[in-house]
Amino acid sequence: MAEPSVATRGQKIAHLLRELAVPVVSVMLAMGIGSVIMLVAGYDPLVAFPAMLKGAFGGGRQIGETLLRATPLMFTGLAVAYGFRAGLFNIGAEGQLFLGGLSAAWLGIVLAGLPQPFNIVMMLLAGAAIGAAWAFVPALLKAKVGAHEVITTMMFTYIGRYIVSWLVTGPLKAPGQIPQTSQLPPESTLPRMHDLFGFLAVSRVHLGFVIGVLVAMLLWWVLKYTTLGYEARAVGLNPWASETGGISVPSTTIKALCISGALAGLAGVTEVMGVHYRLHDQFSAGFGFTGIAVALLAKNNPLGVIAAAILFGALSAGAGTMQLEAFVPTKVIFIIQALIILFVAAEQLARWIIGRTRRVGVEHAS
Amino acid sequence: MASPIIEMRGLTKRFPGVLANDEVSLSLHSGEIVALLGENGAGKSTLVNMVYGLLTPDEGSILVDGEEVNIRSPRHAIDLGIGMVHQHFMLVNPLTVTENIVLGAEPTRLGAIDFPAARASVRELSSQYGLKIDPDAVVRDLAVGMQQRAEILKALHRDARVLILDEPTAVLTPQEVRELFSVVRSLVADGLSVVFITHKLEEVMSIADRVVVMRDGAVVGETRPADTDMAGLARMMVGRDVVFRVEKKPSRCGDTVLEVNDLSVLDERRLEAVKGVSFSVCAGEIVAIAGVSGNGQAELVEAITGLRRPAAGTIALKGKDITHGTAREAIETGVSHVPEDRHRRGLVLEFNLMENMILGDHRLAPYSKRGVFDYNVISEVSKKRIADYDVRTPSERVKAEALSGGNQQKVVLARELGRDPDLLVAAQPTRGLDVGAIEFVHSQILAERDSGKAVLLISLELEEVQSLADRILVMFEGRIVREFEAGEASDEELGYFMTGGGGAKFAEATVEGGAVDG
């Protein structure tokens, strides 16, 4: 009785391992080449990597910092991944993120004095809505006249960024020298995790991380178990067969790009509500663009995005310690990040290496 | 007999869950045409891909000129004198015929490609074997038959002694097939050897010196055309007797199901592809549209199935107007569609069979309730349909791309018929299928008719039209030029009207007049 289920579980694990092989090999290759670069530049990778690991996972505070940095990448990674599943390249997550941040900075002040749970829900919804709205125009152009979303979402990123720049230096500028909005009242912010759960170590990670994980799980479910996700995947894989099956390709495109935009908007909301408590025009370190790399590494699987975002968060959080203790400039981390993306993109290369090691293994065995 | 050029000894190839080739042995002598016959998925392509260096055998050996070789790549195969023309051509479309032929083996002078020399060599090869082709034509502009010639010339340019043709006739017109056969004969007269992969019995009978029949990855027999007949070959290939002529009862025409009135449809270039067509199909009747490809059939099908908006006229299903309905509305009103191109329109190849089985019904109960799937129901329905339609697959969780062409078509049929439609629109439902699968598809279409469904069949195959249809409409240049009752017209008569004989004279005149005006 138990045997068939064991067999399927074995198959499932084998399948999962195959799926994980490319990302894992890519990360290892990137670390390897990163080491060579460090050696050439006169640094010791055997000091640098342990230092980085310590900086990322060495203690409760470090882990919290890693998760904090993973949070916006999780949202933007999900945004890009969902678009990809529907055959759309939302390169403009950065712009949708800025608009989401803007909505939170404004609404948080408006809602001052109201209960915190209410404010959190309202601000998340508003940020998702404006992110979706910012993606709607490119989506409409794509669906109606075929304008390529790579161009239009990118252009909308510029528009969004500069609108925010103008607002924080002008109409929404808080009193003082610095171009930023006024600080949000406490009831309009996301609580830190250690404030919610006393047993956790003190760190900057906030409720946004948990929301991100929940959203990732929701998205995984949507893709697999709902007609909405089914139609998005069908259109992404084969628009002609989808059309023949009665799926409207234009409306599926619009829905998918708007959902993608909503997710990117949430990245902006959680950054403003959980980290900065206000908006300034440098509040995103290119999260929208790094999200593309996160989605690629996760192979557009929402659950994979959680892991990929944490990896990128760890690289970013560990970079500081690496610089302090091994004197390796943080820029090396950017090189490693770029290499990871390169190897994931060059999937065939990783596959070839996996194939070779397997063959060598077989030869050794025989 | 002289020693063979190529000898395959006990070749075995496994793919995850499939034994694609099981100890296959085959030898090929100089000046010989060997037909490799088998159903889709019998392992023919796997075998020749190993010889051409695209796959590595798990077991067994390949001998070329009596010496064992380990063919690592197509380049290596070419060096050994083996050329292959794939089912899907490997040509660079924007380049000319000459550029394509010399690509990878360019004659050079001072480091630059010597185009005069290249062109001369193409001309020489082309006249030597009767492969007429314009060396300066751009590949993209050529008809399929011509592109195939370019592929053959490419192999000859690299001094192939052995030419492998993978289902070369699948994409050709009857005229092009005849021309290909005469080319192949002139090649073997010159000492080349040809491996001819096919699942069409007539072709085997007319061209092969020797036939090797494969089934389920193994060689099940070898014979000469003179020693057998089509029924004998079919039996070897399928493993049982095959009925060629479909037995059918006379049709009992019920209520009118599909009513098309004065329908005009534009194509992509906004030219009128369907010009004022009217006809009807009643319940329990198969109406076939016969015609040469490109005479408006595709646009007509798209209009009826809601994929293309008609420019004028009306379409009604059971009295309900669906002229301007979407594909979704067509499906929901009771139109099922077996598309001509199953890879492009029929299936999402990367989806598993469960996901493909519900495409078009995925919003409806019992598969989906309030937008959420019930995978238990979906899996049960899929399993039942896989059994009912004899889809050969390890499970319903396999991706559609892993199945053979015949089994993919069975999935499409299972979905479209399982929906219990009022009208089935089947566009070339047996294209590229082998005899066993064709027999199955035909019997399913007839069963639909006998259960009182209306069937509109679009086919380029006269045999299919003749054996299935209760009524035949001949379409030429966007018009229905003639209508026949079943058994009323001979193949020759149909062919005559399909190619513009008789009633289509005025159509040609209009076209010419238009050209003069323009």
Residues 136-175 of B with CB under 8 A from A: none
Burial class (CB within 10 angstroms; exposed 0-12, middle 13-18, buried 19+) of B5: buried
- What is the structure's pLDDT at B405? 82
Chain B contact present for A158, CB below 8 A: no
- What is the structure's pLDDT at B352? 95
Contact A244 B375 (CB under 8 A): no
The stretch A305-324 carries a mean pLDDT of 91
Topology, domain B256-334+421-517: Rossmann fold (3.40.50)
Which of B430, B382, B442, B440 minimizes the C-alpha distance to B405?
B430
- What is the structure's pLDDT at B510? 39
Query: SS3 of B197, please?
Result: strand
The stretch A200-206 carries a mean pLDDT of 91
Q: How far apart are CA B22 and CA B34, in angstroms?
A: 19
- What is the structure's pLDDT at B244? 62
Chain B contact present for A246, CB below 8 A: yes
Q: How far apart are the first and last CA of chain B?
A: 65
Domain that holds residue A80: 60-357
- What is the structure's pLDDT at B349? 94
Contact B347 A238 (CB under 8 A): yes
Domain ranges (residues) in chain B:
6-81+161-238, 96-158, 256-334+421-517
The pLDDT of residue A360 is above 70: no
Indicate the pLDDT class of residue A338, thresholds 50, 70 and 90. Answer: confident
- What is the structure's pLDDT at A6? 44
What distances in angstroms separate CA B195 from CA A260, B27, B51, B168, B208, one per listed residue?
52, 10, 11, 11, 9
Contact A244 B371 (CB under 8 A): no
Indicate the length of chain B as a whole number. 518
A113 contact partners, CB below 8 Å, separation of at least 6: A185, A187
- What is the structure's pLDDT at B142? 83
Q: Same CATH topology for B6-81+161-238 and B256-334+421-517? A: yes
- What is the structure's pLDDT at A131? 97
Q: What is the dihedral of CA B73, B78, B79, B80, to 10 degrees?
A: 100
State how many domains chain A has: 1
The pLDDT of residue A142 is above 90: yes
What's chain A's average pLDDT? 89
A74-83, A217-226, A306-315, B507-516: segment of lowest average pLDDT: B507-516
Supply the ipTM of this predicted assembly.
0.85
Q: What is the architecture of the domain spanning B6-81+161-238?
A: 3-Layer(aba) Sandwich (3.40)
What distances in angstroms separate CA B323 from CA A344, B36, B264, B315, B328, one per listed residue?
48, 47, 11, 5, 13
The pairing of strands B82-85 and B162-166 is: parallel
Contact B359 A241 (CB under 8 A): yes
Contacts of B368 in chain A (CB under 8 A): 226-227
Residues of chain B with pLDDT under 70: 1-2, 17, 242-247, 502-518
Q: At A104, which CATH number? A: 1.10.3470
- What is the structure's pLDDT at A85? 96
- Give the model confidence (pLDDT) of B417-451 as tens digits: 999 999 999 999 988 788 888 889 999 999 999 99
Q: What is the dihedral of CA A171, A173, A174, A180, to 10 degrees?
A: 150
Tell me, letter by letter, the H, E, C secondary structure of A140-196.
Answer: HHHHHHCCCHHHHHHHHHHHHHHHHHHHHHCCCCCCCCCCECCCCCHHHCCCEHHHH
From the CA of B360, how many Å to the nearest CA of chain A? 4
Closest partner CB to B331 (pick from A230, A242, A246): A246
Chain B contact present for A146, CB below 8 A: no
- What is the structure's pLDDT at A366? 37
- What is the structure's pLDDT at B496? 82
Closest partner CB to B307 (pick from A225, A227, A244): A244
Contact B307 A231 (CB under 8 A): no
Residue A26 lies in a domain: no
Q: How far apart are CA B381 and CA B222, in angstroms?
A: 41
